[in-house]
Structure 1
Amino acid sequence: MTPAEEVATLVDELRPLIEQLQELLPEPVEDATKGSSQSHKVTGSPAPWHAEAGPLLLTIHAGVRDLEADLRYHVAGHTRLRVQYETVGQRAGRQVRRVLKGEAPRGGSDANTAAALDAIARLVHGVPDDIARRARGQLDSWVRQAREVRDIGEAEKWIPIHVPKGALPPACPYCKTFSLRIAQESGRVRCFNARCTDEKGDRPRGRIDKNRLDGSAMLVWADGRTIYYGESA
């Protein structure tokens, strides 16, 4: 899986998490370390604030826009397009303008955040791999943080890779230690050796896949490396 493809996958993972964070906003938390103690939504003004979901949601909304702008900057060859407007009338004493050239900055609505995510998944295919990997890292961080919000409760559980009884688990191809772990829900694989990096200097990232010829399991890494091992996938 290329860095650009991983970005698209993470965008798809982030969308429902944003919606879940949004749903938590009108739900107060008595103790942020224990999650919500409320069994119903609280309405009225001012709206209560979820101590974990609120700040993270603001960070994601702003970060998604910044990431989109950064990718557009690289796709355009490091030339920022100046936005030019045309006045087309007035409404309530204010000028109404439309964009003639360039792209106006995204507004702050949820719909604009969704549009920015769409643009990220598209634009990332037009940037160098190092820029795509940087985008992947940022999206992965937001996904991980959202899953760790206790009222969402989707933090991934990383466990040793299952192998047949008596067999050794696959070793990390980069550090040669038996530090590989798999996320139970997503099937993503990582090396938990803090000093381990792949040939590009990134923390190794992979996924479990199946050999189409014989059905055996294999680990496919972000840099294209593949490892076969004895368990049937």
Structure 2
Amino acid sequence: MTQPEEVSALVAELRPLLTQLAELLPEQVADAARGSTQHHKVTGSPAPWHPEAGPVLLTIHAGVRELEQDLRYHVAGHTGAARGGSDANTSAALDAIERLAHGVPDDVARDAARRLGRWIEQARQVRDVGESERWIPIHVPKAQIPPACPYCRTYSLRVAQESGRVRCANPRCTDERGERPSGRIDKNQINGDAMLIWQDGRTIYYSPREAS
């Protein structure tokens, strides 16, 4: 995967997390340490605010705009006009980041990917989002080729170490329903072969007895 492709994949990961964070803002958190929400009205409470999601969301909104300006400066020699604070402007900035990543040196695109990855991790660490997982390539025995994605035929599959969930890192990949492919790793109960079981029911066998 090239650096611009990695940036696009990370932008695709970040977008739904921003939506989840925004959806948390009308909720009052009963216990920030546990991340649980209370749905009854809090007497005398200030404007609705989620003490974990709110600051993270603001950090990402500001950071996305700063990243767009940094990339634009490398491409065009200027930062461009400042964007407003709306969600639509954040989405437009993410669109621009994907485009601009194709016009900057690899080290600059690599830094952009690092910043996007950091925001993704911060969002997933919010308890009511609760998706903090490390995604790594699928393990196969030495000298063997990892399984290709059955939908886009690229070697872009990643597995979450904690849960065994599987997804394709190719941002343009969709399944037959037009959705981002998702599945899980399991083992055949008869012979121990590793299997990828996809959400649409498709099953793929790979690397006998070597599930991650």
Query: Would you call these one fold, judging by a TM-score over 0.5?
Result: yes
User: 2:32 corresponds to which letter in structure 1?
Assistant: A
Number of the residue aligned with 2:26: 26
User: 1:185 corresponds to which letter in structure 2?
Assistant: R
Describe the shift of the 1:160–1:170 C-alpha distance in structure 2 as closer, same or farther (beyond 3 A): farther
1:126 corresponds, among 100, 103, 111, to 103
Describe the shift of the 1:41–1:154 C-alpha distance in structure 2 as closer, same or farther (beyond 3 A): farther
Unaligned runs of 5+ in 1: 82-102, 164-168, 172-180, 190-228
**Counterparts of 1:57 and 1:41 in 2: how far apart (Å)?**
23
Compare the two structures and name the one with the higher strand fraction: 1
**Kept in 1: contact 2:27–2:37 (CA 8 A):** no
Correspondences of 1:82-101 after superposition (within 5 Å): none
Q: What TM-score results when the alignment is normalised by the length of structure 2?
A: 0.64
**Kept in 2: contact 1:148–1:155 (CA 8 A):** yes
Describe the shift of the 1:23–1:62 C-alpha distance in structure 2 as closer, same or farther (beyond 3 A): same
Moved more, 61-70 or 152-161: 152-161
Cα deviation, residue 144, structure 1: 1.3
SS in 2 for 1:37: strand
Number of the residue aligned with 1:38: 38
2:165 corresponds, among 179, 185, 196, to 185
Describe the shift of the 1:186–1:115 C-alpha distance in structure 2 as closer, same or farther (beyond 3 A): farther
Describe the shift of the 1:61–1:160 C-alpha distance in structure 2 as closer, same or farther (beyond 3 A): closer
Q: Is 1:104–2:81 an aligned residue pair? A: yes
Number of the residue aligned with 2:48: 48
Describe the shift of the 1:160–1:8 C-alpha distance in structure 2 as closer, same or farther (beyond 3 A): closer
Number of the residue aligned with 1:74: 74
Deviations 1:91-149 (A, max 9, x none): xxxxxxxxxxxx42101111100000000011100000000000000001111111121
Number of the residue aligned with 2:178: none
Describe the shift of the 1:37–1:131 C-alpha distance in structure 2 as closer, same or farther (beyond 3 A): same
Deviations 1:148-185 (A, max 9, x none): 2110121226699565xxxxx559xxxxxxxxx94233
Describe the shift of the 1:37–1:2 C-alpha distance in structure 2 as closer, same or farther (beyond 3 A): same
Describe the shift of the 1:72–1:160 C-alpha distance in structure 2 as closer, same or farther (beyond 3 A): closer
**Cα RMSD after superposing both structures:** 3.4
User: 1:63 corresponds to which letter in structure 2?
Assistant: G
Q: Percentage identity across aligned positions?
A: 68
Pairs aligned (count): 158
**Kept in 2: contact 1:26–1:41 (CA 8 A):** no
Unaligned runs of 5+ in 2: 144-157, 170-205
Number of the residue aligned with 1:153: 130
Describe the shift of the 1:142–1:159 C-alpha distance in structure 2 as closer, same or farther (beyond 3 A): closer
SS in 2 for 1:154: coil
Deviations 1:193-221 (A, max 9, x none): xxxxxxxxxxxxxxxxxxxxxxxxxxxxx
Q: What TM-score results when the alignment is normalised by the length of structure 1?
A: 0.58
**Kept in 2: contact 1:156–1:185 (CA 8 A):** no
Correspondences of 1:180-219 after superposition (within 5 Å): 182-183=159-160, 184-187=164-167
**Kept in 2: contact 1:11–1:121 (CA 8 A):** yes
Larger Rg computed on CA atoms: 1
